[in-house]
Amino acid sequence: MNPLPVLHDGVRTADLDIVSIPGLPTLHPRYKWKDHNQWLREVLSHRVPQARIMAFQYDFGHDSQEVAWMQLMQHAEGLLYSLIHRREGVDSRPIIFVCFSFGAFILKRALLLAKDQRAFRSILDMTGGIVFLGCLNNETRPNFEDLCLKCAAVEMGVHKKDRVIESLRQDHRWTFVKEVMEDFRALNGPFPVRILFELNPSSIGSRQFVVRTMKQECLCSEQVSRLGWDTEQLVPVQKNHAELTMYPQRSDDDAYFQLFMKTLSEMIEEVVPKSVMLSKDLSASNGSKSVLSLDLSSDDDVASLLTPSKPSLNMPSGVNIPCFVTWPYDENPNFIGREDELEQIHTRLYSIDGTGSQQRVFALTGLGGMGKTQISVKYAFKYRKDYHIVLLAHASGQSKLAESFSLFADKLGLGAGMSPIKAKQAVKDFLGSIDAPWLLIFDNADTDDKIQLLDEFWPCKSQGSILITSRDHTLVKRFTGMELVEMTKPNAVDLLLRLIQFEKDVLDDADVIEEEIAAEKIVKRLGFLPLGISQAATLIINDSCSLASFLEDYTLRELVEDSATIQLDSPRNGYKYTLRTVWNMNFESLTKDQQSLMKLMSFLDPDRIQLRALKDGLLKPQGSDFDFISSPHKLSKCRAGLLRSTLVSQSRNGRELRMHRLVQAYCQLRMDIEESQKNFRSAINLIKDVWPVPTREMVHNPALWEEQRELLPHVQKLCEFYVKSCENGQPLIPHTEANWDFASVLYEAGWFCYESGLLESVSELLVPAKEYCIRHLQKGGGYRILADIYGGLGSLATESNQFQRAYDDFNEEWKCLKLAFDAAELTRPSIWEVFGLGRVGNGLQGLHRYTEAEEYYRMALKAWEGLPGDRKVWVSNMCTCLWLQGKLDEGEKTIKVVIKDENDATNFRTGLAMNCLGNIQISQAERLKQEGKTEEGEARLAKAMATHTKVLQLFTIALGQRHHKTADIMYKVGWHLHRRQEYQKALDMLNNALGVYASQPKIFKNEIARTKYKLGCLQQDMGEHIEGGALIREAERLRKEIVAPEDWEPAQGEKAFDDIVQFWTR
């Protein structure tokens, strides 16, 4: 062991040396040299960037119960020899010593030797100052010997009667100890001395357990701490002796960390004035390259990533304002009534002075079909002049919201073709930064997780206006708003008469009265429901009948009113709506083929049914499932008929159909269980045939994401309908059969969600898929797809840092694959075997079982021989495993083989490999610096930063700036910038990473804790002690929730937070 390792050698040319000398904790069972050194490397190096920092390491009877004071004093010569060696060529550089407790005995003896011995004299001459912490300096105080023994017991975590303490008590060299202390006090050196002494009492015994009956006393009080020098200053600290013998933690909430740093900084300023350091800094930096010029100086994109632009009131070129997006809704010319509701909404949402100084929110709730969406659309059109931006988002699920925000990003001019996550953040950031009135409508926020979804897509800043429509009346209490009730009878009658274009002038007075009475009866029977009134009006027009005759036909159509209603339970009463009676007339007017298409579509996502998907489905052999649309001509005829019926509507571009959810529910209610099962199976077959499935060796393929994203809502609906049907006791897939296509479709959609970063949607698809497979395994044929599902669940667990769960799921995947081989579902060689073995390696590596993980990675790569595909992912994971085992040279050699093109941004695999290389380069740099090769180490760190900066560029292109993997590399680049004291750039980078993680807080809780800790450290190093300390304590609170209670201990530095994130995130 090198007794005086260099832990930090200055960012540029060092102006002074700082030497840390610990006390007597080396016998304490919890003491770790690495904790002492880690503090100096991670904390002090940032606060004193111009210093070379060294830690004196010594062994005081570590393996023996027989210890003596002379053993301690003898280390003084070792300290001097080590200093002379380290300071060769820089012996005129000032030294500041930081001594803890009995470490002061070593330093005092060393400086006295330096005074008397010419070979060491330069050490005393260049001593610029000393900081003593918890040190006994006055041997003349009463009971001095007893105080020494008590301090030793506290520091080593033993009882005062312990054999080690008894050995020190019986040491006959007490006189020598006192002579050293007396001679040092007489030295009265010219350099400044700061003495931190304790104010809190200590219990003599274990640091972990306080013996209540034991007497407590303040050990290193002011009196015993005084040296009596002219240059000394005493600093009281609200700590006990045990706490004062360790460096202060960043998370301390009692200002000790700030006090210590202030004390040390003032001494450094006295020894090496800032004017001197500044002149050297300017000289050293003159003509030097900044971090942005490292290998990437010509790349403007990367430069902008490293220095994110601040929101500006001046809009960038290309932004489209005003912007009005209510797709697919146009203004309804037949909208009537609801004036009071519209006025109430506007009063709440609109700021009269137009400043938008605070965010205004209104929740409009009510039963389905009540007209909430139409009111929100009417509000948008009526008051569009009051808002510079109006955006209507479909809030019925994460994928729908993501699609809406992608459209907003395009229409606003923020960028077309963005990934969903990138588009979401771009719109949120834009709305949060613009100083202009805007309106955002969240329409149909009805999912169980609507609050989380709204939080995820909610604009960041406290400005703007937000209107929410939902069936959940509890949102009114949460946000303020109103619960919409049915239309008034006069308004309902007026709506019906307007929709049918009723003309009084062409009728006799008696006929007018008859028609008006019929209108009142019709709207009453329809429960004054706007949607029902609209549907009835359409039927009246299409049939060219009078209101009176419609009322007569309506009662004669063999419709059982009570048993055939679509009942929508109000949170306040059991009101029933007779919509089905109206829609039956529409439905029965359709041809058989048109009805078949309606039934098929009733199991798809009703908001966006792509005609392209239906056409593509025609190209697949489906038997008789799709005879009704077996040709483009038949499909076109069916579409036209459905549009005439008004049961569906069409997008403006004619590419998509839309069905109201109540119409969808009605279609399903018309079918018996056998017909429902048949059409559900057809819907599965359709989506399976049009879903773009990547080959297994190219499973990480962003090129397919856009098409998969469009189809995702259909799979989510299939899953939702199946789960509910099982809960109702009428499963849409009979339990007597196994439909592995259903499980496969759920898996493919779940894997897309995982790959594209929609992690909160993964388990919603894969857990039902797993349960389905397990229920039907005995029917044969499901082992491979079940293995895929376990692999997807394990991958999700790795991203959410659930290490044991990930390993368990990957282990289950491998078991299922072996059964699939046994059952001849798979044959070797197989890419499935590669993934199965490699994922077990991932699970083992997450549990820090690196040797076993390496073995599985090597088996996976062996199994890949002779198979096509890009091996970068598994080579990268194996080389990360080598890195974490310290096999740096082997890891570097292996990873470089697979990096063919450092500019390959077609997918994220090259970036993944280079990220691994950058981490290896950091560890190589640390090793070089520990070997005293400082310049080589700094050069390797610069190379690592260039590598990681390049990865950031590749990930941003391949995955988007808002993908969590991009956030991981943002954190790493921020780490580099922090190390280089480029604080503002580091702050921007880390805040960007935190913003990505915060968009899915349940998934990325560990990453949030880690990033907040780093941000807190950064803020403290920038002098913002209160803000930084608060962030660090918040990070520790999160970490305590994450780490098992039996494994918990306070974090000593960054490593504690690195350990709670997955290996590829580090």
Q: Are residues 132 and 248 in the same domain?
A: yes
759 & 840 share domain: yes
Distances (CA, A) of 615 to 639, 649, 654, 658, 847: 12, 18, 14, 16, 48
Residue 149, judged by CB atoms within 10 A of its CB (0-12, 13-18, 19+), counts as middle
148 and 232 belong to one structural domain: yes
Domain end call among 573, 588, 603: 588
Helix ranges, 459-578 (H): 474-479, 489-499, 509-525, 530-543, 547-555
Q: What is the CATH number of the domain that holds 362?
A: 3.40.50.300
Q: Indicate whether 480 pLDDT > 60.
A: yes
pLDDT of res. 214: 58
pLDDT tens digits for range 446-472: 887 888 889 889 987 667 899 999 877
Query: In 3-state terms, what secondary structure has residue 566?
Result: strand
Please, which residues bridge with residue 392 across strands?
441
List the CATH number of the domain containing 261.
3.40.50.1820
Q: What's the rounded Cα separation, in Å, for the pair 777 and 391?
A: 47
In a domain, 933, yes or no: no
What is the overall mean pLDDT for the chain?
84
Angle of CA points 242, 244, 246, to nearest 5°: 85
Q: Which of 59-68, 280-289, 756-765 has the lowest mean pLDDT?
A: 280-289
Q: What is the pLDDT confidence band of residue 1005, given thresholds at 50, 70 and 90?
A: very high
Dihedral (C-alpha) 851, 855, 861, 865: value to the nearest 10 degrees?
150
| Residue partners of 1043: CB distance under 8 A and separation at least 6 | 1060
Inter-residue contact 276 to 15 (CB < 8 Å) = yes
Q: How many CB atoms lie within 10 A of CB 297?
A: 12
Mark out the alpha helices in 335-449 (DSSP H runs).
339-349, 372-382, 398-412, 420-433
Averaged over 150-176, what is the pLDDT?
Answer: 81
Lowest mean pLDDT among 25-29, 551-555, 559-563, 779-783: 559-563
Mean pLDDT within 894-900: 94
Helix axes 762-776, 783-799, angle to 10 degrees: 150
**352 and 402 belong to one structural domain:** yes
What's 437-468 look like in SS3? CEEEEEECCCCCCHHHHHHHHCCCCCCCEEEE
> Domain check: are 969 and 990 in the same one?
yes
Boundary (domain end) residue, out of 433, 457, 483: 483
Q: CA angle, 351 as apex, 347 and 354 as ends, to 5°?
A: 145
> 939 lies in a domain?
no
Answer yes or no: is 606 within a domain: no
Total residue count of the chain as it appears in this document: 1066
Cα pseudo-dihedral 88, 91, 94, 100, rounded to 10: 50
Residue with token string 């006791």: 729
Q: Which residues contact 212 (CB under 8 A, 6 or more apart)?
A: none
pLDDT in tens, 300-331: 444 444 443 333 334 555 688 889 999 888 88
Tell me how far CA of residue 328 lies from CA of 307, 453, 654, in angstroms.
38, 21, 11
* Whether residues 762 and 796 fall in one domain: yes
Q: Exposed, middle or buried, 475 (CB in 10 Å: 0-12/13-18/19+)?
A: buried
Please give the backbone phi and psi of residue 916, each rounded to the nearest 5 degrees, phi first: -60, -45
Alpha-carbon distance of 124 to 611, in angstroms, equals: 86
Residues 88-105, mean pLDDT to the nearest whole number: 92
In a domain, 945, yes or no: no
Beta carbons of 817 and 782 less than 8 angstroms apart? no
Q: pLDDT band for position 25 (50/70/90)?
A: low
> Helix (H, G, I), strand (E, B), or coil: what is residue 993?
helix
**Tokens standing for 332?**
């309804």
The b-or-e profile of 497-535 (16+ CB within 10 A means b, else e) is bebbebeeeeeeeeeeebbeebbbbbbebbbbbbbbbbb
Q: What is the percentage of the chain residues whose pLDDT exceeds 90?
A: 43
CATH number of the domain within which 1035 lies: 1.25.40.10
Those residues with Cβ within 8 angstroms of residue 954's Cβ, 6 or more apart along the chain or in another chain: 903, 904, 905, 908, 910, 911, 914
Task: Identify the bridge partners of residue 324 per DSSP, sorted by sequence position.
Answer: 390
pLDDT at site 309: 37
Q: Give the domain extent around 400.
A: 323-483
Q: What's CA 514's distance to the chain center, in Å?
A: 65
Secondary structure element (H or E) that encloses residue 360, with its range: strand 360-365
Of the candidates 97, 95, 105, 83, the residue with the CA atom closest to the CA atom of residue 23: 105
Angle at 876 between CA 874 and CA 879, to 5 degrees: 110
Q: What is the pLDDT of residue 568?
A: 37
Q: Are residues 205 and 333 in the same domain?
A: no
Residue 235: inside a domain, yes or no? yes
Same domain, 96 and 221: yes
237, part of any domain: yes
Q: How far apart are CA 136 and CA 225, in angstroms?
A: 5
Q: What is the pLDDT of residues 522-540, one digit of tens each?
A: 888 776 777 777 777 777 7
Say if 39 falls within a structural domain: yes
| Predicted structure pTM score | 0.66
Of 819, 838, 864, which one is at a domain's C-terminal end? 864
Gap between the terminal Cα atoms of the chain: 28
pLDDT band at 818 (very low <50, low <70, confident <90, very high): very high
pLDDT digits (tens, 9 = 90+) for 132-151: 999 999 999 888 888 988 88
DSSP 853: H
Count of domains observed in the chain: 5
Structure-token pair, residue 157: 């975590």
CA geometry: angle 315, 321, 326, nearest 5 deg: 135
Q: Do both 460 and 349 map to the same domain?
A: yes
The predicted pLDDT at position 805 comes to 95
- Together in a domain, 472 and 553: no
Q: Which residue has the tokens 């897309």?
A: 752
- Using pLDDT thresholds of 50, 70 and 90, give the confidence band for residue 65: low
If you write DSSP's letter for every residue of 681-715 in order, what string do you get?
A: HHHHHHHHHHS-PPPGGG---GGGHHHHHHHHHHH
Condensed to tens digits (0 to 9), the pLDDT of residues 569-612 reads 333 333 233 455 445 656 777 899 999 999 999 999 988 898 88
Beta bridge partners of 193: 130, 232
> Is residue 990 a part of any domain in this protein?
yes
Q: Which of 9-18, 605-614, 791-800 has the highest mean pLDDT?
A: 791-800
What is residue 564's predicted lDDT score, i.e. its pLDDT? 40
27 and 170 both lie in a single domain: yes
Q: Please give the distance of CA 460 from its chain centroid, rounded to a whole number.
A: 16
Compute the distance between CA of residue 1032 and CA of residue 1021 in angstroms, rounded to an integer.
12
Same domain, 453 and 385: yes
Tokens representing residue 406 in the block: 């992608």
Sole residue written with tokens 């060491």: 120
